[in-house]
Structure 1
Amino acid sequence: MPPQYSPSLRLRLPLLAFLLETIFILLFVFFVKIDHHEQVHTKFDRKTFMRSYAEFQDVHVMIFMGFGFLATFLVRYGFSGSGFNMLVAAMSIQWAILMNGFLLPQRHYSREIYVNLKSLIEAELCAASALVAMGAVHGKTNPVQLQLLAMVEVTGFVVSQWILRTLLHADPLYSIMLLHIFGALFGVMVSWVLHREGIKPQHEKEKTDRRSGLFSMLGMLFLWMFWPSFNSALVYHWDRGLKLTVIYGTYLSLAVSVVIAMSISMLFSSKGKINMVHVQSSALSGGVAIGVAMTAVHAPWVAMMIGFCAALLSTLGFRYMKSHMLFAFECHDTCGVLNVHAIPGILGWLAHLLLQLTSTESTIAVQFAVHHIFVLLITVCMSMVMGTATGLFLKWSFWRSQQDRKCFDDQAFWEFPNLVEQK
């Protein structure tokens, strides 16, 4: 039953924000240092640093502008979609720096956490997993709940990486790219626990128009253009062959995804027209899939086939799965993260498995397959269990969830000068 009181967060949001920032600052005082070993004295070092900084900027634009504008597709949720994205990303990056430093230290002989471009990129990728999870509950949660969701999600994702790297000795580059699967399933489970009848079959404010759709398309373009940097940012510069392979493969996969997303959207439309929501989301599915499989993809045609299959499954999922998920499982996925991130991510995992098996001896293939399956099972189980627990925690009435009629509406949290009453 929806709450009957006003969803004012006057005390809760500032108190939580001040508390978290105070804790972060104190932890940074005692544990975090600037990495002065990242020398830029020689010409080679300066070139390496500038290339790393350019990739960092690309990922930075994706996190704050790409995901931010992409979430503005709801006609009355533009302020919240972009504003809460910035709030959650800023909080998540700080927490991810600390969590990565404590659990995944680069220098095992020191207790200090060193900040450099690599650690910042890793933190932003962890924040991306939180933003993916947030996409499933957009419009149905307040900023206090979103901050708490992000803190738990980043913690769970870093812990899952620690388990994969420590117990299964998984490749760090491969394990961090599982962020799409972890974040999507985490968010879907939170949305399932927080489900409310007031948004079924479709909330009256859950709609888009030409202006909001154009802003969302702008966010998609930022993500689409910079996704090669997103996938290749953590590949070492001295491994030039792998880095170029990842960049070119990601670009080709994304290019195919655009063509297939538009084609499938028109083919399965009752009026034979392209659905902009399908294009905004499914055009990115190739980048998600190739990101998980990138260390095993060495041929351009393989990258293109992965993009083809990812866009096909993603667009069909948007066309049919979202409504069926709501009716069959009472799970409302606002941004369709299951179709954009989870399904293409699992497709990329399967492609990685098959490609590795074809190039591995039969005696080792079974061991590799079992190892690969355990990596996925641990990721899926941890994301779903932690997502369910987080949903139960956020369901507590103390966090003041907005009323059903205030879902997908900026007026619950933002000032509008034309609506201010003089007192």
Structure 2
Amino acid sequence: MSSNYRNFRNSVPWLILFLEAVFIVLFYFLFSANEASKSSISYPAFQDVSHMVIFGFGFFLTFMKRYGFSSTGFNLLITVLGVQCSLLIEGLLVFLLGRTNEDSLKRITKAAMTMTAVVISTGAVLGKTNPVQLILMTVVEIIVFHMSRWINNVFLQVPDNISMMHVHLFGAYFGLAVSSRFSEPLPRSEKHASTPKLDLFSMLGTLFLWVFWPSFNSILALNKRNAIYNTYFALAVSAVSAFVLSALTAKDGKFRMTHIHSAVLAGGVAVGYAGHCIEYPWIAMILGLLASVITILGSYCLQRCLNPVLKIHDTSGVHFTFGLPGVLGDLTRVVLFVVKNWAVSPRLGYLVMIDIGAFCLTISVALVTGFITGLILNLKLFKTIPVSKYFDDQFYWEFPHLAVGF
């Protein structure tokens, strides 16, 4: 194991340095001086998205008692690398396809939002991948997600704000497909267990996400006020429902932190697709209720029935936290569109098929490319860590208080 550690020490820093050097060179050729025009995105709105990705997801994933350093540290590493990568891909699309060049603040905001997909995928493989694999997965997923968005925008005419909300769907199913190629952890592994203190830290991340989620859903929306309004009510109802369902489904009638940790965000994920066009808050509230129900009931069904059959280990439960609410939200947007345009649009059937096609395309691309990425990451070249070393910080981080090494 010590030899593998030396290999990581010799490869990871040089890989990061190489990528950063490539980024700097490409930035020199693709980006000019900052625009003087007024940005359509305010700096406080950008801060909210940045807080979500760094603070929110960073703490959200710190629930394993022997993987806290890696959860927060690697989240920061792949985020700062991924934002630069996303900006470069967007710049290449502008250069090669002649797309409209956006202001700098809007570009970096969209890059940070894109990183949400990567962070969600990381939750599915958390503790099972080494830094080299995480960095490679980040670069591949960002490229593929941009391709998926480009197809949806250009060929299916999906609005930019809607295609960006696909980060939840794409991230969840890409991560699940990658995770399916990794060995399952040892049964009843104590490293995968949590502690009350770490559950509290993880809940702190959930609270960060909960507070800033209205900004995330509204930052690209055409009707920002509606998006903020409806997102808040959907989040509020999903939080209330999480407490109710947690007590009703527990054998002893007590609240379970794992339920609260995931289900309170379900309403925000689901309403992101249609929040800007929902006219009445009670619709958003019902959506938040359904999302919370799907999350908690889905956690039982998936963890006990589907995942063991498919041999998928979802470390952070991203499928029922982000995937299923994302499916509900996208289908809800289609239903609301049909109800609103039933008697006025002669091309209603065609438009509905376009929306469903974009939804299916996003999930299909995520599953196929995630499966291929998982196969690549398990090549001997990337030195997949053994199952016995899953969920272990000591493999990557220095612990001065430990007298013995690994």
Instruction: Say whether the fold is shared (TM-score over 0.5).
Output: yes
- Alignment gaps of 5+ in structure 2: none
- Residue of structure 2 equivalent to 1:96: 86
Note the C-alpha offset of 1:5.
6.1
What is the one-letter code of the residue matched to 1:416? F
Distance, in Å, in 2 between the alignment partners of 1:22 and 1:114 is: 25
Hey, what does 1:389 align to over in structure 2? 372
Q: Is the 8 A contact 2:169 2:327 kept in 1?
A: yes
Question: 1-side partners of 2:304 and 2:378: how far apart?
Answer: 23
Structure 1 runs not aligned, ≥5 long: 40-47
Contact 1:101 1:114 in 2 (8 A): no
- What is the DSSP-based 3-state SS (H/G/I as helix, E as strand, rest coil) of the residue aligned with 2:398? coil
Q: Is the 8 A contact 2:177 2:374 kept in 1?
A: yes
SS across alignment from 1:419: coil
Distance 2:188 2:81 in 1: 31
**Is the 8 Å Cα contact of residues 226 and 277 (structure 2) preserved in structure 1?**
no
Identity of aligned residues (%): 38
Q: Distance in 2 between matches of 1:364 and 1:257?
A: 35
Contact 2:57 2:119 in 1 (8 A): yes
Q: Which residue does 1:20 correspond to in 2?
A: 19
| Cα drift, residue 314 of structure 1 | 0.4
Per-residue deviation, residues 195-253 of structure 1 (Å, max 9, x unmatched)? x14x1544331111111001001111000000000111123xxx5xx111000100000
| TM-score normalised per structure 2 | 0.94
Aligned-residue offset at 1:379: 0.5
Residues 386 and 109 (structure 1), Cα distance of their counterparts in 2 relative to 1, 3 Å cut: closer
1:45 maps to what in 2? none
* Contact 1:63/1:128 (8 A) holds in 2: yes
The structural deviation recorded for 1:319 is 2.8
Counterpart Cα distance in 2 of 1:117 and 1:191: 34
| 1:245 and 2:245 correspond | no
Helix, strand or coil: the match of 1:33? coil
1:303 deviates by 0.6
**Deviations, residues 87-131 of structure 1 (Å, cap 9, x unaligned):** 111111000111122226799478xx6651111110001111110
CA distance in 2, matches of 1:128, 1:298: 27
- Spell out the pairing of 1:109-124 with structure 2 (5 A cutoff): 116-124=104-112
Q: Once superposed, what is the RMSD of the aligned Cα atoms?
A: 2.1
* Distance change in 2, residues 1:376/1:367 (3 Å): same
> AA paired with 1:366?
G
CA contact (8 A) 2:242 2:259 kept: yes
Work out the CA distance in 1 between the residues paired with 2:331 and 2:64: 33
Change (3 A) 1:60 1:176: same
- Measured at CA, do residues 304 and 104 of structure 1 come closer, stay the same or move farther in structure 2, by a change above 3 Å? farther
Structure-2 residue corresponding to 1:312: 293
- Which position in structure 2 is the counterpart of 1:232? 218
2:393 aligned residue: 410
After TM superposition, list the pairs within 5 Å mapping 1:14-413 onto structure 2: 14-39=13-38, 52-103=42-93, 108=98, 116-194=104-182, 196-197=183-184, 199-235=185-221, 242-361=223-342, 363-413=346-396
Amino acid at match of 1:85: N
- The count of aligned residue pairs is 402
Distance 1:109 1:244 in 2: 28
Instruction: Identify which range, 411-420 or 220-229, moves more after superposition.
Output: 411-420
Distance 2:244 2:342 in 1: 39
- Structure 2: distance between partners of 1:114 and 1:360: 32
Compared CA separation, residues 336 and 231, structure 1 to 2 (3 A): same
Partners in 2 of 1:277 and 1:122 — Cα distance?
Answer: 30
Aligned counterparts of 1:346 and 1:4: Cα–Cα separation in 2: 44
Q: 1:295 to 1:401 in 2, by over 3 A?
A: same
Which deviates more, 386-395 or 258-267? 258-267
Give the conservation status (yes or no) of the 8 Å contact 1:132–1:337: yes
Deviates more, 1:96-105 or 1:249-258: 96-105
Q: Measured at CA, do residues 275 and 295 of structure 1 come closer, stay the same or move farther in structure 2, by a change above 3 Å? A: same
Q: Alpha carbons of 1:304 and 1:27: their partners in 2 closer, same or farther (altered >3 Å)? A: same
What amino acid is aligned across from residue 308 of structure 1 in structure 2?
L
SS of residue paired to 2:9: coil
User: Which whole-Å CA distance do the structure 1 matches of 2:59 and 2:2 have between them?
Assistant: 32
